[in-house]
Amino acid sequence: MSTEAMRTVTTAVKTIAYYLIFEILILVLVAVLFHIPLKQLFLPFVLYLIPGVAIVPLIFNARRYFHRPKACAVWFAIALSVFTLLITTATIYSAIELGLWANDVKKDLPLLAAFGCTISAVTGYLFTYRRLTAKRS
């Protein structure tokens, strides 16, 4: 593996580790503030861990295309879309698990995910493309 590839992998692992540490801190803070047992927060913890772990490789892949603004923006839009989908799903299922929402909210998930993913993908693409092309001007 090349030095640049090793550096990318190392940075990705560090990013995931920081995400994990931050999420554990938030988990403990929520448990203490709202008097919720840690065992009951296990499912939300896992559901919110998945988006962070899934998104890091996609974002680092997008970074490989800095020299091609359109490709980089497309990859970043895909990453944001996946992140939005996973966070929306995690939020709905966590709220149902904790008893904050009724179980019938799941029927709205496809509509929420479709709009959320579309809006985040378009916004992410436009901001990334503008930022990368502004650097070249």
For the chain, the domain total comes to: 1
pLDDT at position 101, please? Answer: 86
Q: How confident is the model at residue 135 (pLDDT cuts 50, 70, 90)?
A: low
- Cα–Cα distance measured from residue 87 to residue 127, given in angstroms and rounded to the nearest whole number: 21
Which of 16-30, 72-86, 123-137 is predicted with the least confidence, judged by mean pLDDT?
Answer: 123-137
* Token output for 39: 């065992």
pLDDT at position 2, please? Answer: 79
The alpha carbon of residue 45 and the mean position of all alpha carbons in its chain are separated, in whole angstroms, by: 13
- Cα–Cα distance measured from residue 89 to residue 110, given in angstroms and rounded to the nearest whole number: 9
pLDDT at position 82, please? Answer: 94
* Token output for 52: 């962070």
pLDDT at position 106, please? Answer: 86
Whether the per-residue pLDDT at 123 is higher than 90: the answer is yes
pLDDT at position 32, please? Answer: 95
Domain assignment of residue 106, given as a range: 3-136
Q: How many CA atoms lie within 13 A of 94 on its CB side?
A: 19
Whether this prediction's pTM lies above 0.75 is answered by yes
Give 82-87 contacts, CB < 8 A, sequence gap 24+. Answer: 82/51, 82/54, 82/55, 82/58, 83/51, 83/54, 83/55, 83/120, 84/113, 84/116, 84/117, 84/119, 84/120, 84/121, 85/113, 85/116, 85/117, 86/50, 86/51, 86/54, 86/55, 87/48, 87/51
Mean pLDDT, to the nearest integer, of 43-68?
Answer: 92
